[in-house]
């Protein structure tokens, strides 16, 4: 079965960090964007395998909205 999940990827001086806000504690890292995407996908799949099937929809039923905005700092 396939699921759509939200992931957040951050870049810093050490590489890339990704986490899935739907699945508490599900996170990964990588040296490149491609690596972190592959790693977080694997982490999500393994995380979901540990959940009972009836709980998967509960964890993945959140609606997450993202946006960017401009802010002014004095």
What is the pLDDT, as a whole number, of residue 68? 81
CA-CA distance, 28 to 20, in Å (whole number)?
9
Domain positions in the chain are 8-59
What is the pLDDT, as a whole number, of residue 8? 94
Query: pTM for the full model?
Result: 0.80
What is the pLDDT, as a whole number, of residue 57? 79
Sign of CA dihedral 11, 26, 6, 43: positive
**CA dihedral of 11, 17, 45, 22, whole degrees rounded to 10:** -90
| CATH, range 8-59 | 3.30.160.250
Beta-bridge partners for 29: 17
Q: How would residue 23 be classed by pLDDT, with cut points 50, 70 and 90?
A: very high
* Residue 42 contacts residue 30 (beta carbons within 8 Å): no
């Amino acid at each position: 079965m396939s699921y759509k999940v939200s992931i957040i990827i951050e870049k810093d001086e050490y590489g890339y960090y990704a986490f899935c806000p739907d699945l508490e504690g599900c996170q990964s890292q990588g040296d490149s964007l491609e690596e972190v995407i592959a790693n977080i996908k694997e982490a999500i799949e393994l995380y979901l395998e540990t959940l009972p099937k009836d709980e998967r929809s509960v964890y993945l039923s959140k609606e997450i909205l993202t946006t960017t905005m401009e802010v002014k700092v004095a």
